[in-house]
Amino acid sequence: MNTMTESKKTVTLNYINGEWVASDSEQTAVSKNPAKIGEDVGYYQISSSNDFDQAAISARKAQKAWGKLAGSVRGDYLLKAAAILEERIEDVATAMTQEMGKTFAEAKGETARGVAILRYYAGEGMRAIGDVIPSSDSDALMFTTRVPLGVVGVITPWNFPVAIPLWKMAPALIYGNAVVVKPASDTAITCSKVINCLHDAGIPAGVVNMVTGSGAKIGMEMVNHPEIDAITFTGSNTVGKQLAHAAVDRGIKYQLEMGGKNPVIVANDADLDLAADATISGGLKSTGQKCTATSRVIVHKDVYEEFKEKLLTKMKTITVGDGFETGTWMGPCASEGQLETVLSYIEKGKQEGAKLLYGGNQVLKDQGYYVEPTVFENATPSMTIAREEIFGPVLVLLKVETMEEALEMANDSEYGLSASIFTTNIGNMLSFINEMDAGLVRINAESAGVELQAPFGGMKQSSSHSREQGRAAIEFFTSIKTVFVK
Ligand SMILES: NC(=O)C1=CN([C@@H]2O[C@H](COP(=O)(O)OP(=O)(O)OC[C@H]3O[C@@H](n4cnc5c(N)ncnc54)[C@H](OP(=O)(O)O)[C@@H]3O)[C@@H](O)[C@H]2O)C=CC1
Ligand SMILES: O=C(O)CCC(=O)C(=O)O
């Protein structure tokens, strides 16, 4: 059982060396429902250094045997875990909606994506891992193979509490690593349910470990721990950079996936209904809390007014509320802190002279951390709302005279994660594909929407320039060995 009951409280436990255990700190913290002020979802462990130490040591011990198993055998564990997660979709998605507010439909969709991620990486256990390379010595055989890194530390955010831990853990495991995961505190309970699927699939003790608690404490201990050979992280740029510095100091491998300020360009030949729908879906689903969310909407002057009207008409139909209620399109911000951040950006937008076209207010205040879908216009590219990641349901409209100006503006950002263009002109498409500085470029499709079988990652400040997901994951989670036999 991943929980225990203590004074009528349901307490989620740590998972160390194949067992669900309480922290020796004897401290727990509460996970709160952002849709219902005052409703506690449950409790999780505030772990100690000793807990983390135990997890890292047991991962080190277990990795040796795990790494020696055939890839197909490791894959079988992932397939079993996938089947178990599939049976538990409703339960896992319920925890997700309760902990971070995403609508139940989105939470179920994400959990189904988690199942697909496990199945995809199970298949990786059967695929080629090296090349035969002709040697200059005709009597020799030269080839490459790949070996696991050892123990991988996994630090994950709250916005995709099932998909992100799985798209990091599943490739780590299939390529023979052991893992210690430190999930976001806001969604620790959801993550423990995912780990429980791996436990119930019979994964050998120590191969997977989960330690919950403060990121500032456990996260930093993780990157500095001698038993940790690599770190994979998704979250804020500030924390990502701290981890990178520490990883470089220790000479370990690291992978960071961080922020975005993703643009969508609407050309004067675009299908404006499609563009408006995709801007809303890409910018406001999950309450704008995706690193791939649309944030800057760069519109050609010829279609600006028409596009704006379509966008506003559609935005006005959005229903905000508890993600469990039928009819809710957009849930609350994930926490009080996120709500405050979003409201402070809205204030800054007004102060800096942008025009608030729609929304901008906190709503259902006595119920939860809700904010209206919001759109600004008359913004300039130098305004804070056009430069910084807001991570909320806020769109900024920017008008341009030409497509060259649109592309230049789209690239005028420290980030480069995802970007889209709406156009029917092949020349516009090709310029965008070639010149847009983003890891994910999408034509006539919203900026969000990552496919698990394709590489994912950003340019500039959005990532550590590595890619995760798809086959690209093998580059991070393994080391290449070149073998020469004579
Ligand atoms: N790229 C993305 O998908 C995401 C981007 N963000 C951006 O970051 C902003 C802040 O969100 P927030 O949740 O605070 O993001 P953080 O980067 O603080 O948190 C992400 C993960 O890192 C952990 N963490 C926190 N501090 C440290 C540390 N010093 N060392 C190691 N790990 C640490 C967190 O643990 P704990 O939860 O215990 O603090 C969590 O597991 C958002 O508004 C958004 O702009 C946030 C989440 C995802
Ligand atoms: O767009 C997506 O599906 C994934 C987004 C993501 O990776 C993130 O927000 O961290």
CA distance 403 to 295: 19
Ligand 1 midpoint to CA 465 (Å): 19
The mean pLDDT of 91-119, rounded to a whole number, is 98
Cβ-Cβ contacts under 8 Å for 47 (sequence gap 6 or more): 14, 23, 25, 211, 212, 213, 218
pLDDT greater than 90 at residue 7: no
pLDDT greater than 90 at residue 6: no
Cβ-Cβ contacts under 8 Å for 365 (sequence gap 6 or more): none
Ligand 1 midpoint to CA 295 (Å): 19
Residue closest by Cα to atom 9 of ligand 1: 236
Ligand 2 midpoint to CA 462 (Å): 12
pLDDT at residue 9 in the model = 87
Query: Does the beta carbon of 286 lie inside 6 Å of ligand 2?
Result: no
Query: Does the beta carbon of 156 lie inside 6 Å of ligand 2?
Result: no
Tell me the three state secondary structure of residue 179: strand
pLDDT greater than 90 at residue 1: no
pLDDT at residue 100 in the model = 98
Q: What is the mean pLDDT of the chain?
A: 98
Give ligand 1 pocket residues (Cβ under 6 A): 155-159, 182, 184-186, 214-216, 219-220, 234-236, 239, 242-243, 257-259, 291, 341, 389, 391
Share of residues in the chain with pLDDT > 90 (%): 98
Domains of the chain, each with CATH number or no CATH: 3-258+463-485 (3.40.605.10), 262-452 (3.40.309.10)
pLDDT greater than 90 at residue 23: yes
pLDDT category of residue 268 using cuts at 50, 70 and 90: very high
CA distance 290 to 359: 20
Q: What is the DSSP letter of 132?
A: B
pLDDT at residue 8 in the model = 78
106, 257, 372, 468: which is the annotated catalytic residue?
A: 257
pLDDT category of residue 112 using cuts at 50, 70 and 90: very high
pLDDT category of residue 224 using cuts at 50, 70 and 90: very high
Query: Does the beta carbon of 159 lie inside 6 Å of ligand 2?
Result: yes
Kindly report, residue by residue over 405-448, the tens digit of the pLDDT. Answer: 999 999 999 999 999 999 999 999 999 999 999 999 999 999 99
Q: Which atom of ligand 1 is nearest to the CA of 389?
A: 45
Ligand 2 midpoint to CA 354 (Å): 28
pTM for the model: 0.98
Residue closest by Cα to atom 10 of ligand 2: 291
Q: Is the ipTM of this complex over 0.90?
A: yes
The mean pLDDT of 204-212, rounded to a whole number, is 98
Count of beta carbons in the 10 Å neighbourhood of residue 277: 15
Share of residues in the chain with pLDDT > 70 (%): 100
- Is the Cα dihedral 253, 257, 261, 265 positive or negative? positive
Q: What is the DSSP letter of 34?
A: T
Query: Does the beta carbon of 265 lie inside 6 Å of ligand 2?
Result: no
468 is catalytic: no
CA distance 404 to 412: 12
Kindly report, residue by residue over 370-395, the tens digit of the pLDDT. Answer: 999 999 999 999 999 999 999 999 99
